[in-house]
Amino acid sequence: MSKFPALPGFYNLMFLYLEPLSTMGPGLNCLLYPGTAWYWHELVPNSLPTPQLSSLDPRTVIAMWQLSNCYFLLGLTSSLLFRAIRDALPDNLPAQERILGASLAALAVADLTHIFTTLMGLPADVRYDFANWNVMTHGNITVVVILFISRMSWFAGVGRKRYYFGQPTLKAKKT
């Protein structure tokens, strides 16, 4: 892993490697294998067989492919933007942290809305039946909760030195 003081150790692993993989992987699952119908079917845990792609409404297929594109966008943005911050601002740690913080704040809001909309979309009998959730449900809720906690830990300065957030503001001298 690279030297990136504003995103050290665990955070570097989580946000430069694991999160991009965890977002681009589902995008590939939806587009390629096991495919769109499987992905759509797995959104809500059930015991029914996976339908054929041809049985899905064209609007559903388009929405699923657009969702896949959003997963790619999210993974690429995190991965490429964070690396660009590291490479372009190697000696400006407050700027690194401020830009990372803006990105992580936006992602944290998206985490919360993703968790909420997924929970509200699940049928009531499945919503809190954690033992019967499938991999997709855990990915959409459990993994996103872990990402949110990781983002909040970064903001709190857990396991890292702060360079911008949590630092006292400097008052300009009057002349």
User: Would 77 be classed as within a structural domain?
Assistant: yes
pLDDT tier at 48, thresholds 50, 70, 90: very high
Q: What is the pLDDT of residue 27?
A: 93
pLDDT tier at 1, thresholds 50, 70, 90: very low
Alpha-carbon gap, residue 82 to 12, rounded angstroms:
9
Those residues with Cβ within 8 angstroms of residue 125's Cβ, 6 or more apart along the chain or in another chain: none
Q: What is the pLDDT of residue 175?
A: 60
**Packed helices 58-88 and 93-121: angle between N→C axes, nearest 10 degrees:** 160
User: Which pLDDT tens digit goes with each residue over 128-169?
Assistant: 999 999 999 999 999 999 999 999 999 999 999 999 988 887
Count the neighbouring beta carbons within 10 Å of the beta carbon of residue 15: 23
Q: What is the pLDDT of residue 168?
A: 80
User: Would 84 be classed as within a structural domain?
Assistant: yes
User: Would 163 be classed as within a structural domain?
Assistant: no
User: Would 33 be classed as within a structural domain?
Assistant: yes
pLDDT tier at 171, thresholds 50, 70, 90: low
User: Would 101 be classed as within a structural domain?
Assistant: yes
Query: Which own/partner contact pairs does 8-14 have at CB distance under 8 Å and 24+ positions apart?
Result: 8/159, 8/160, 8/161, 9/159, 9/160, 10/150, 10/159, 11/150, 11/154, 11/159, 11/160, 14/147, 14/150
Q: What is the pLDDT of residue 19?
A: 97
User: Would 65 be classed as within a structural domain?
Assistant: yes
Alpha-carbon gap, residue 138 to 160, rounded angstroms:
28
Task: Tell me the pLDDT of the chain averaged across its residues.
Answer: 93
User: Would 21 be classed as within a structural domain?
Assistant: yes
Count the neighbouring beta carbons within 10 Å of the beta carbon of residue 51: 12
With the C-alpha atoms ordered 67, 87, 106, 141, is the resulting torsion angle positive or negative?
A: positive
User: Which pLDDT tens digit goes with each residue over 85-129?
Assistant: 999 999 999 999 999 999 999 999 999 999 999 999 999 999 999
User: Which pLDDT tens digit goes with each residue over 18-29?
Assistant: 999 999 999 999
How many folded domains does the chain comprise?
1
Question: Domain limits at 126?
Answer: 9-156
Q: What is the pLDDT of residue 166?
A: 84
User: Would 59 be classed as within a structural domain?
Assistant: yes
pTM, two decimals, is 0.91
Alpha-carbon gap, residue 62 to 57, rounded angstroms:
9
Q: What is the mean pLDDT of residues 52-79?
A: 95
Q: What is the pLDDT of residue 174?
A: 63
